[in-house]
């Protein structure tokens, strides 16, 4: 089976865990490494959570590196109300024996991209601080990136604010640098983020397996449901990884997109120019500093969900 080489940038968080499990376990993915960033919780907790998820996935020696401890300009705003104080549902998970890589996140990104014989897809599912720093520190290496498929932004409403999605809102300046980088970008945003989900019944089915990954996934699902008092809960960030290896399950459209870095109520909004072409020609008020971005607008929810369950639990029927 042909493999797609990817690097994940995470702020593990419960739904980042769903994505890391999938990326580490799916046979068509070569997970080159994982970089960690301040986001859902502090970066050192993100590292601890990520190492633990790789244990549950039975992953090999995948390098995990420490990145930015806060946004480029602003202060950290953690999502404890969603992911718990430890970012993983406050389950009291025992620490992993794995060690964090000695390189910084941007050095690991540079080395993995330079060393890869295959095109590399970068999959940020967190605030884009590491990616912005990498683009500024190693622009020649960045030119070798095949593409960026990111979880972030929205062509509709926000979640962190009325206008902005959390990953972009957490560091709008970093997001603006990434969107303007010239690297081909697919934006897996809030227009689809909430739709692939898991229920308590799914968790109960996963628990029937004696393998660590489905057991771990079931625990996270149940913790997420109990914390948010909602079912199904979203598989969230995982969808961006699925979009990399199964693009046929997703509907996309290219729009000019710009990140609002003002200090106003729209700060962190990914403004997508969805005007009809004739209108754009009449009113050529183009978005300044915009970039053409492939935006995910729809997906085959059932197929995307089943892809995750069948990957996490080899006995899933």
Active-site positions read: 11
Using the contact rule CB under 6 A, the part of the chain among 7-15, 130-138, 273-281, 289-297 near ligand RIB is: 7-15
Counting every residue, how long is the chain? 317
Tokens 């919780």 correspond to what residue?
41
- Residue pair 270/316 in contact (Cβ under 8 Å)? The answer is no
Q: Which of residues 237 and 260 has its CB atom nearest to Ca ion in the complex?
A: 237
Cβ-proximal residue to Ca ion, closest one: 16
Nearest approach, Cβ of 169 to ligand RIB (angstroms)? Answer: 8
Q: Which of residues 111 and 148 has its CB atom nearest to Ca ion in the complex?
A: 148
3-state helix, strand, coil in the chain (%, to 5): 40, 20, 45
- Based on the shown chain and the rule CB under 5 A, indicate whether residue 124 belongs to the binding site for Ca ion: no
The residue from 123, 126, 187, 241 that contacts Ca ion (CB under 5 A) is: 126
The encoded tokens of residue 270 equal 């990914």
Using the contact rule CB under 6 A, the part of the chain among 165-173, 207-215, 219-227, 275-283 near ligand RIB is: 165-173
User: x-or-dash pattern for ligand RIB, window 58-97, by CB under 6 A?
Assistant: ---------------------x------------------
Instruction: Give the separation between CA 281 and CA 283, rounded to whole angstroms.
Output: 6
User: x-or-dash pattern for ligand RIB, window 229-248, by CB under 6 A?
Assistant: -------xx-----------
DSSP state of 200: H
Tokens 């935006």 correspond to what residue?
295
Binding residues for ligand RIB, rule CB under 6 A, total 16
Using DSSP's 3-state secondary structure scheme, residue 203 falls into helix
- Based on the shown chain and the rule CB under 6 A, indicate whether residue 196 belongs to the binding site for ligand RIB: no
Instruction: Give the separation between CA 88 and CA 142, rounded to whole angstroms.
Output: 31
The encoded tokens of residue 160 equal 């962190």
Nearest approach, Cβ of 89 to ligand RIB (angstroms)? Answer: 12
Residues near 115 by beta carbon (within 8 Å), at least 6 away in sequence: none
| Residues binding ligand RIB (CB under 6 A) | 11, 13, 15-16, 39-40, 79, 125-126, 151, 159, 165-167, 236-237
């Amino acid at each position: 089976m042909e493999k797609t080489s990817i690097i994940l940038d995470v702020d593990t968080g419960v739904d980042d865990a769903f994505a890391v499990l999938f990326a580490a376990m799916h046979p068509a993915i070569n997970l080159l490494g994982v970089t960690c960033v301040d986001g859902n919780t502090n970066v050192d907790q993100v590292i601890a959570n990520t190492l633990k998820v790789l244990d549950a996935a039975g992953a090999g020696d995948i390098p995990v590196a420490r990145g930015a401890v806060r946004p480029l300009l602003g202060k950290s705003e953690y999502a404890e109300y969603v992911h718990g104080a430890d970012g993983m549902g406050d389950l009291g998970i025992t620490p992993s024996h794995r060690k964090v890589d000695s390189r910084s996140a941007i050095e690991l990104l540079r080395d993995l991209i330079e060393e890869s014989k295959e095109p590399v897809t970068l999959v940020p599912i967190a605030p884009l601080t590491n990616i912005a720093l990498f683009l500024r520190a190693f622009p020649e290496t960045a030119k070798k990136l095949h593409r960026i498929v990111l979880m972030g932004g929205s062509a509709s409403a926000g979640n962190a604010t009325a206008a902005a999605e959390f990953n972009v809102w957490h560091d709008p300046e970093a997001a603006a640098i990434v969107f303007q980088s010239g690297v081909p970008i697919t934006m897996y945003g809030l227009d689809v983020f909430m739709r692939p989900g898991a229920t308590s019944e799914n968790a109960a089915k996963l628990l029937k397996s004696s393998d660590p990954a489905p057991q771990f996934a079931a625990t996270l699902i149940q913790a997420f449901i109990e914390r948010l008092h909602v079912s199904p809960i979203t598989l969230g960030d995982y969808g961006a990884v699925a979009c990399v290896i199964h693009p046929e399950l997703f509907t996309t459209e290219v729009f000019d997109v710009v990140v609002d870095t003002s200090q106003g109520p729209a700060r962190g909004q990914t403004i997508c120019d969805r005007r009809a072409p004739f209108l754009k020609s009449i009113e050529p008020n183009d978005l300044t500093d915009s970039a053409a971005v492939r935006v995910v607008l729809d997906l085959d929810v059932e197929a995307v969900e089943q892809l995750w369950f069948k990957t996490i639990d080899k006995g899933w029927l």
